């Protein structure tokens, strides 16, 4: 007997017991059991937002097994993980809201309703964990939010079709990728104003900072180049050829290498910024739509939405270690211990 409760999800494991399944040499009587997953340590967890099923899947990043599901509002997309406070902030795009979850208990502890039609799709926390930046795709705005009280303390208008945001190491500036207007807006988070909006080559999708914070790496939808920008002066330093179809970008802080996930060819391009060229590739089973790096194990987690897979890759050997099935509409992955 099952009870259906709104905004509640329960993960159960179905186990087949082969003992006694065959009787009298000809009769097959299968026996199954349902069990709740065992609780795992919080520092071993990872989270995948599934915008089509309105769930955040919780998985064990070591065993690569789904251990729980968190029922959210409509259309969860971007996730910002506060590892010190064990909180996960989830952008609920179709509800124009942000929900906050206790990652240890898996329950919602707070929420913030944004403006009608905002459609938040990306979230980033400042390094001190006190300010949350929300990219509101449909209203062409960015919300600046007190992450502790969950109160919107500022809102600024940026370019058209903002898609993602990167915050610098100081936590004072946010760099917003305006995909539809082919521009990047620099938001001063202390003054809560846009200090600069400037056009760039192509339609920017994602950006990531170098380990020292002195370079901003930008991938675009329409060009084969990785843009290297000086964030202090916002000047283009150089372009690095990575090929067409870039979808995601991540910097390996332990090596300084830049990883570019591709839409075509089933590969991730590895770039050595000091030589301004790509030096290697990692083979994956589809288009690499989003990536994150676990600094504890030095492993890469990659979402392949077309194949409904989450892959775990050893960054030293470049080999796939494990993979798990994920829901349709998988959007973002975060893990405890990520850089």
Q: Over the stretch 240-262, which tens digit does the pLDDT of each residue have?
A: 999 999 999 999 999 999 999 99
pLDDT tens, position by position, 328-338: 899 999 999 99
pLDDT tens, position by position, 140-198: 999 999 999 999 999 999 999 999 999 999 999 999 999 999 999 999 999 999 999 99
Mean pLDDT of the 3-20 span = 57
CB 179 within 8 A of CB 221: yes
Say whether pLDDT at 91 is over 90.
yes
Cα gap 125→116, rounded to integer Å? 23
Is residue 233 classed exposed, middle or buried when 0-12, 13-18 and 19+ CB atoms within 10 A define those classes? exposed
Query: With pLDDT > 70 as the criterion, what percentage of the chain qualifies?
Result: 88
Is residue 152 classed exposed, middle or buried when 0-12, 13-18 and 19+ CB atoms within 10 A define those classes? middle
> Residue 302 half-sphere exposure, CB side, CA atoms within 13 Å?
36
C-alpha 242: how far from its chain's center?
22
The Cβ of residue 120 has, within 10 Å, a number of other Cβ atoms equal to 29
Say whether pLDDT at 52 is over 80.
yes
pLDDT number for residue 41:
81
Say whether pLDDT at 227 is over 70.
yes
Is residue 329 classed exposed, middle or buried when 0-12, 13-18 and 19+ CB atoms within 10 A define those classes? middle
pLDDT number for residue 88:
97
DSSP designation for 161: S
pLDDT number for residue 32:
58
Two tokens at 195?
């200090």
Query: With pLDDT > 90 as the criterion, what percentage of the chain qualifies?
Result: 83
pLDDT number for residue 249:
98
Q: Which pLDDT band holds residue 277 (cuts at 50, 70, 90)?
A: very high
Mean pLDDT of the 85-113 span = 95
Say whether pLDDT at 22 is over 80.
no
Domains in the chain and their CATH numbers? 72-199 (2.130.10.10)
Mean pLDDT of the 11-21 span = 57
């Amino acid at each position: 007997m099952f009870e259906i409760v709104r905004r509640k999800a329960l993960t159960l494991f179905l186990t087949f017991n082969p003992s006694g399944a065959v009787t009298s040499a000809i009769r097959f009587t299968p026996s199954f059991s349902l069990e709740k997953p065992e609780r795992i340590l919080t520092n071993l967890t990872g989270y995948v937002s599934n915008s089509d099923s309105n769930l955040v899947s919780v998985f064990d990043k070591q065993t690569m097994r789904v251990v729980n599901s968190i029922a959210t509002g409509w259309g969860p997309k971007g996730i910002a993980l506060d590892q010190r406070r064990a909180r996960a902030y989830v952008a609920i795009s179709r509800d124009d809201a942000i929900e906050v979850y206790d990652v240890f208990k898996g329950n919602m502890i707070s929420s913030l309703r944004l403006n009608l039609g905002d459609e938040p799709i990306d979230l980033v926390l400042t390094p001190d964990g006190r300010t949350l930046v929300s990219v509101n795709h449909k209203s062409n705005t960015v919300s600046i939010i007190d992450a502790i009280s969950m109160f919107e303390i500022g809102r600024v208008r940026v370019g058209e079709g903002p898609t993602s945001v990167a915050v610098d190491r100081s936590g004072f500036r946010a760099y917003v990728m305006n995909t539809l207007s082919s521009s990047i807006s620099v938001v001063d988070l202390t003054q809560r104003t846009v200090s600069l909006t400037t056009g760039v080559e192509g339609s920017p999708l994602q950006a990531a900072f170098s380990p020292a914070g002195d370079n901003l790496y930008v991938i675009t939808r329409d060009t084969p180049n990785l843009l290297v920008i000086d964030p202090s002066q916002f000047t283009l330093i150089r372009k690095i050829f990575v090929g067409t179809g870039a979808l995601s970008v991540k910097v390996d802080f332990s090596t300084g290498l830049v990883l570019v996930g591709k839409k075509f060819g089933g590969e991730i391009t590895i770039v050595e910024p000091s030589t301004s060229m790509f030096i290697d590739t990692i083979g994956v089973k589809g288009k690499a739509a989003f990536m994150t790096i676990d600094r504890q194990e030095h492993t890469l987690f990659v979402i392949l939405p077309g194949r409904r897979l989450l892959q775990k890759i050893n960054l030293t050997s470049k080999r796939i270690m494990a993979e798990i099935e994920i829901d349709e509409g998988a959007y973002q992955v975060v893990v405890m211990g990520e850089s």
